[in-house]
Structure 1
Amino acid sequence: MSESSLPTFAVKWSGKEFPIEGLSDSTTLADLKQLLMEKTGVRVERQKIMGLKCKDRRSSKLIITKHKRRQNALPTEVSSRPAGDTDCLKDMGVKEKQKLMMIGSLEESIREAAKAPNPEEMPEVVNDLSMEEDIIAVADRPEFLDKIQKRVETIEIKEINAPREGKKLLVLDIDYTLFDHKSSAESAAELKRPFLHEFLASAYEDYDIVIWSATSMKWVDVKMKELGVTGHEKYKILFHLDSSAMISVWIPDKGLIDCKPLGVIWGKYPQYNRQNTIMFDDVSRNFIMNPQNGLKIKPFRDAHFTRDEDRELIQLARYLKCIARLDDFTKLRHRKWERYLDKYDK
């Protein structure tokens, strides 16, 4: 009898899609990796195929009734674990036309990255990026996607409040986004952006909220308490992230850039994704790995002189409310958010 075959599926890597077909039920993960090495050039030991779990089925137990008239089988217990190289693909639940994602770097890409200059010898990197081509290219680089996966596997997130079903995700920077961290004042409250609490309360109706700063967690926790965000009665924060969740990416002609890859959150919380996540930051390089999900906010500086005129958070609260009804944020161009509001008002 001929051996049955697996469904046809595809593996995505570095912006390309590789169809996989004609595999038998006895094909193992190691066999698949060998095939992918032939197709992509990525060595087997450098491959990471996302989301594969191996289903373990325990034998059903039979209960015999007192009179032995019938046997009742308990439901088969099914558990899952990360797939190993010797596991068969048929036990991983791969479905017809399913698309898997592979992370891994070519040897030449690794050698190229290793040749990057010492950051201490480089000129200071500009504070922002203007070339969309660079941003798009960086977002698909496998060596940077590999860094994100390592963050997903190693970072520990301390939840402050539980995620809510059906909510979208809003990720917020602190410095110059919610708070003027350079001006002098007797209290942090004097330097918070106008309408901060009203903005967060409005956003919380449709979004779970994450605070992500490029500083230390100690600083993040302290500032959120001083600003009155922690424990606020009208909204709740999901969790805080700090610089340890960021990665560094190398861009020709610009050098090393630290950024906040949303894939770290998506890897930990699969209910959030590029379709339902938006990120506010005053520096667009922070969302270079997810350009479609980032909105560059006008920086809040010189609080003592600008707070009476600053209405950025009021307008952005309206924008968040407008787009909350949409199923897919990837069809939006967030840099034109003000134009979107103008059309919405008409």
Structure 2
Amino acid sequence: MAAASSSSATEEELTLTVKWSGKEYTVRVCGDDSVAELKRRICELTNVLPKRQKLLYPKIGNKLSDDAVLLSSLPLKSSLKMTMIGTIEEDIIVDPVDSPEVIDDFEIGQDEAVDIKDKEVNKQKLKRRIDQYKIELRTPCRPGKKLLVLDIDYTLFDHRSTAENPLQLMRPYLHEFLTAAYAEYDIVIWSATSMKWIELKMGQLGVLNSSNYKITALLDHLAMITVQSDSHRIFDCKPLGLIWAHFPQFYNPKNTIMFDDLRRNFVMNPQNGLTIKPFRKAHANRDTDQELVKLTQYLLAIAELDDLSSLDHNNWQSFTEDNAKRRRHA
């Protein structure tokens, strides 16, 4: 009985009232959501980024400052009102370089990744995100094309270094890579930052107005979900199921691949993720980084396959070499 009541508590929907800037907002969350998820919901309504939010609630103290805390563990009541202190990004003259850096300081094992993917609570979170998040297409999906989902920070761009011109921080061969990939793949950019920052940086790099390729859609941090690992770490990830659910006639696990420098970002779809070498210290590495050149060869080599999810993307470099040898012999 205790287990059953605990389960119902985590699945129970909470309707909270948040006061901010003289207005009240109704926020719907579930007990199995974390404080990070609550902040994400508030961000959707107010445009105050989660990192800018300070939540005040009677008799809870500073527990709402810990993003990893599950809401089911807090004495929240729908009848009480929560106050938020925070400023929208337009009112702050600051670059994301000033924000705390996300460091991949833990690894998710293969067995643990499968466990996270298969947990019913995470499937329900994904289902709610599918209902809540709307993907706006910049370019129509193309029948017969596979899907390439790309991270930004440390994947396409060194966001921590400084430069007078953002192009100096762009990963080498980015436009050549995107042009070649576009022949076989629709391209989606998915970053754990705000949409405004994604549009700004991709615009500065010339990615959004290229005549050689098109970006199908941009996804931001609001599209992510929060999951908990067996070791009790709580973190955000990028569930590809969100895209598949919105465009089932075009994309699925068999024709999708995602590049990200953080392995945990594709924990909900481990068979579709490729961990790219981080592009850091752009000024020092700009002349030697060949990652996108090599990955172009890999993407084109596997584009002819029917099922990308059957590949072990951890061994992508050896696949490229073997494929090149086979073609030379042929």
User: What is the TM-score when the length of structure 1 is the normalising length?
Assistant: 0.66
The alignment of Structure 1 onto Structure 2 pairs a total of residues equal to 244
Output the CA distance in 2 between the equivalents of 1:324 and 1:274: 14
Output the CA distance in 1 between the equivalents of 2:274 and 2:323: 18
Q: What is the match of residue 154 of structure 2? A: 176
Q: What is the match of residue 280 of structure 1? A: 259
Matches within 5 A, 1:201-220: 201-220=179-198
Q: What is the match of residue 224 of structure 1? A: 202
Q: What is the match of residue 264 of structure 1? A: 242
CA 1:114–1:150: 2 relative to 1, 3 Å: closer
The percentage of aligned residue pairs carrying the same residue is 47
2:310 to 310, 315, 331: 331
Unmatched tracts of structure 1, length 5 or more? 1-41, 43-104
Going by fraction, where is helix more abundant, 1 or 2?
2
- The letter for the 2-side match of 1:177 is T
Output the CA distance in 2 between the equivalents of 1:115 and 1:320: 36
Residues 246 and 259 in structure 1, CA contact (< 8 A), matched pair in contact too = yes
2:170 to 192, 201, 205: 192
- The letter for the 2-side match of 1:171 is V
Q: What is the match of residue 83 of structure 1? A: none
Q: What is the match of residue 230 of structure 2? A: 252
Output the CA distance in 2 between the equivalents of 1:280 and 1:191: 18
Query: For 1:280, what is the secondary structure of its paired residue?
Result: strand
Cα-to-partner distance string for 1:53-84 (whole Å, 9 max, x where unaligned): xxxxxxxxxxxxxxxxxxxxxxxxxxxxxxxx
CA 1:125–1:228: 2 relative to 1, 3 Å: closer
- The letter for the 2-side match of 1:120 is D
Residues 34 and 226 in structure 2, CA contact (< 8 A), matched pair in contact too = no
CA 1:327–1:238: 2 relative to 1, 3 Å: same
**Greater radius of gyration (CA):** 1
Query: For 1:178, what is the secondary structure of its paired residue?
Result: coil
Cα-to-partner distance string for 1:173-192 (whole Å, 9 max, x where unaligned): 00000000001100110000
Matches within 5 A, 1:292-303: 292-303=271-282
Q: What is the match of residue 66 of structure 2? A: 120
CA 1:116–1:164: 2 relative to 1, 3 Å: closer
Cα-to-partner distance string for 1:218-266 (whole Å, 9 max, x where unaligned): 0000011000101100000001000000000011324211000000101
CA 1:334–1:225: 2 relative to 1, 3 Å: same
The CA RMSD measured in Å over matched residues stands at: 2.7
CA 1:108–1:203: 2 relative to 1, 3 Å: same
1:106 to partner: Cα distance: 5.8
Cα-to-partner distance string for 1:25-55 (whole Å, 9 max, x where unaligned): xxxxxxxxxxxxxxxxx9xxxxxxxxxxxxx
Residues 125 and 255 in structure 1, CA contact (< 8 A), matched pair in contact too = no
CA 1:163–1:126: 2 relative to 1, 3 Å: closer
Cα-to-partner distance string for 1:112-157 (whole Å, 9 max, x where unaligned): x759896728799953424211111000111111111111111121
User: What is the TM-score when the length of structure 2 is the normalising length?
Assistant: 0.69
Query: For 1:261, what is the secondary structure of its paired residue?
Result: coil
CA 1:345–1:114: 2 relative to 1, 3 Å: closer
Q: What is the match of residue 306 of structure 1? A: 285
Cα-to-partner distance string for 1:259-294 (whole Å, 9 max, x where unaligned): 000001011010201000000000000000000000
Output the CA distance in 1 between the equivalents of 2:291 and 2:174: 10
Residues 128 and 283 in structure 1, CA contact (< 8 A), matched pair in contact too = no
Query: For 1:275, what is the secondary structure of its paired residue?
Result: helix
Output the CA distance in 2 between the equivalents of 1:169 and 1:182: 28
